[in-house]
Structure 1
Amino acid sequence: MTSSLSRSSPSTARLVEENLLTLAQLRSMVADLTPEGYRQAFGEHGRHTLGKHVRHIIDHYDALLDGLDRDAEVIDYEQRRRDEVLEQWPQQAASHLAGIEARLLSLGSGPSPDALSLGYPLDDDTLTLASSLNRELAFLTSHSIHHMAIIALLAEQSGIHLPETFGVHPSTLRHWQQASAEQASLSRWTA
């Protein structure tokens, strides 16, 4: 863990680390794509592309980090940039993801907000919900993994081979490791 993360709370540092691992995996995949593969349309109406899912993930991180940077009273994931460049050009998306990783690392260098408020639109009103940095970091990991699982399915249809662990939540990876260790232990007892 980096020195800046060591100054943050242990739980925040662990959540930042999960996000960093998730984003590094996504960035690695995106950096290897051609613009044509990144933009290839899927689905009955052609609305799904790898790039749109990547851009959507980026938008959510930017919404949180931009809100924290400007000390926003309310974090609002609905008011996203939706920068089409990031869904059209994989190298620019990979670069932006690297920037997000650097911004996440900086979360540990200063005081973290004790409480956050989250705007949640409901019909013609917006609810303001109590939240925290840790809760939002946990959300971003799960949200990103969800979209990465969709990306993995789309990539598979294009013949793009991804690691078995791509789009798998860290809790599932920990479960797999535990099950593998238990199986190895069991095998030693029966051998």
Structure 2
Amino acid sequence: MLAKDAVSNHNPSAVNNASVNAPAEVIGGMDVAAQALELLHQLSDEQYNHVASPYLQSTIGQHMRHILDVFHAITAWPQSDFVDYDLRRRAHPVEKNKTIAIDEWISLYSWLETIREADLSTVMNISGEVSLKHHVASVTQSTLGRELSFVASHAVHHFALIRVSLCAQGISTAETFGMAPATATFYRGGD
């Protein structure tokens, strides 16, 4: 079965069998999508919408929406070379409805499959606010490859926060959920 078929059939564990010929940055994004899909398939709607206070102020759904928004920002490529990480869909239905999140992760996975090694060096202009006290955005140049690495790393850090919510709710998940790839390599003995 092809990875794309696995995603379209909602089989998150098969997503991990993505083509080893894909660029590392793409594989990282696919790994994130697989982790998100595996988690979303195990959660109830109530768990997806639970606020694990006082530890967190956001639901798993709100974290998923935020992660998806950051990923969506780079999907402006190839139509545009401008990425605005501040475009957010606060209060979007994806925050409450995990089925929408599942569909969006599947769509993102399909987009990732279109990216080739030569695309990674595409220059992009990245915008993001940098101050809490002033409305100031930094616009810098980057590459598609660098931004793919960033959005995957950003997602893993939010997965770590989601893990706090899971623990507070007594929900078990994969040991590696929310773990940085370099930490997983360390635990595997550096292979």
Same fold (TM over 0.5): yes
Alignment of 1:1-191 (within 5 A): 1-2=18-19, 6=21, 13-44=23-54, 47-65=57-75, 67-72=76-81, 74-82=82-90, 84-108=92-116, 111-112=119-120, 114-122=122-130, 123-178=134-189
**How far off its partner does 1:125 sit?**
3.5
- TM-score, with length taken from structure 2: 0.80
Indicate conservation of the 8 Å contact 1:113/1:132, yes or no.
yes
Distance 2:118 2:29 in 1: 18
Distance 1:19 1:82 in 2: 23
Change (3 A) 1:124 1:82: closer
Structure 1: give runs of 5+ residues left out of the alignment. Answer: 182-191
When structure 1 is superposed on structure 2, of 111-120 and 26-35 the one drifting more is 111-120
Paired AA for residue 170 in structure 2: G
SS of the aligned residue for 2:83 comes to: coil
Deviations 1:4-62 (A, max 9, x none): x84x7xxxx11110111122011110122111111012224973111111111111111
When structure 1 is superposed on structure 2, of 22-31 and 79-88 the one drifting more is 79-88
SS of the aligned residue for 2:165 comes to: helix
Higher relative contact order (CA 8 A, sep 6+): 1
Structure 2: give runs of 5+ residues left out of the alignment. Answer: 1-17
- After superposition, the CA RMSD in angstroms is 2.3
Larger CA Rg, structure 1 vs 2 = 1
Indicate conservation of the 8 Å contact 2:126/2:141, yes or no.
yes
**How far off its partner does 1:113 sit?**
5.5
Indicate conservation of the 8 Å contact 1:59/1:82, yes or no.
no
Distance 2:119 2:25 in 1: 16
Following TM superposition, the consecutive aligned residue runs of length 4 or more in structure 1 with deviations greater than 4 angstroms are 109-113
Q: How many pairs does the alignment contain?
A: 171
